[in-house]
Amino acid sequence: VTGKGVIDHDVVISSRLCLARNIADYPFVCTCSLEQLEEIEAVVRKRLGDLPGFAGVSFEVRPGATLQRQLLAELEAVSQSESPSQYFANDTTGSSEMQRSTSAIEINDEDHFRISVTRSDGDLMAAWQSASELDDQIEEHFPIAFNPKWGYLTTSPWIIA
Amino acid sequence: MNSVLANQISPLKQATEEMQDLDSRECPICGISFYEFRQGGRLGCPHDYVFFSEELEPLLHNVHGENEHVGKEPKRGFHDTESQTELIRLRREMKEAVEQENYEQASQLRDQIRTIANKGASE
């Protein structure tokens, strides 16, 4: 995944952890109007754009981005080059951390925020720590849809938690 | 023979009618129907978890094996879907008021939104 080490293995294993979050006072993406999606994008740019690790990151309102493009964007992020469509915010600025993991936040795909952390060293606790820190930063700036009984509310009940 | 058939068909007919009634129910906040949810597997807003709770509860229990959230919670913001729903409704009404050039009403709605949002931020 990182382009380091032995590169002719048939199988490459990495771990990916995702958290889905939605802004409490907007409908979910599938029922938002284009105007609302653009509004969310503008607010996200304004509130998260200057945070450490987010500076210079580009966000795009694009419901339905394909999995292939997401994966491509993440791999580009790992290799420290700019992703083709800049769907993602990469928050791993330290060079040694960059080699082991990449973190990203996708805006307005199936949920308002999709935080993902990919690691090549299998350290799931570290992946959770990174994802949870990004989650905390988002929560500082947005009310998050949550219900004490069901947890974090998502457009798909299959990933509610 | 006819009565035997009628006895078997009647519950099926009733179940079909109940399903049609359920499918036609629409969330008053986002407008998504239960039929649309069944077809696409996606809900439209946080209020759907309350509006369709009776139908969702067994589904969520089957998927997750539990009916109670454990683990991380937001440190701030709304912990009740009623406030979240109210904000979505007020935003929609404010947009409609602006479109109808009813700026006084839009201004009142904006103040209501701010009050609820500030309350959520301080919780």
Tens-digit pLDDT profile for residues A98-152: 445 667 777 888 899 888 888 877 788 988 988 898 899 888 888 899 988 889 9
Neighboring chain B residues of A149 at a CB cutoff of 8 Å: 67-69
- Percent of chain B topping pLDDT 90: 32
The residue of chain A with its CA nearest to that of B77 is: A143
Which one-letter DSSP state was computed for residue A63? T
Global pTM reads: 0.74
pLDDT digits (tens, 9 = 90+) for A17-41: 889 999 988 899 999 988 888 888 8
Which residues from A are below 8 Å from B when comparing CB atoms?
22, 24-28, 30-31, 110, 132, 135-136, 139, 142-151, 153, 155-158, 160-161
CA–CA min distance A110, chain B (Å): 9
Residue B80 has pLDDT above 60, yes or no: yes
Across the range B22-40, mean pLDDT stands at 91
The residues with which A151 forms a beta bridge, in sequence order, are: A147
Give the span between the Cα atoms of A34 and A32, in whole angstroms. Answer: 6
Residue with tokens 């979050």: A21
E strands along chain A, which residues? 15-21, 101-107, 113-119, 146-147, 151-152
pLDDT digits (tens, 9 = 90+) for A61-100: 444 445 544 554 554 443 333 333 333 444 443 334 344 5
Neighboring chain B residues of A155 at a CB cutoff of 8 Å: 42-44
Residue A45 has pLDDT above 80, yes or no: no
Contact B60 A150 (CB under 8 A): yes
Determine the residue among A21, A26, A31 to mutate to test chain B binding: the one whose Cβ has the most chain B Cβ atoms within 10 Å: A31
Average pLDDT, chain B: 84
Which residue type does B14 have? Q
Half-sphere exposure of A25 (CA within 13 A, CB side): 22
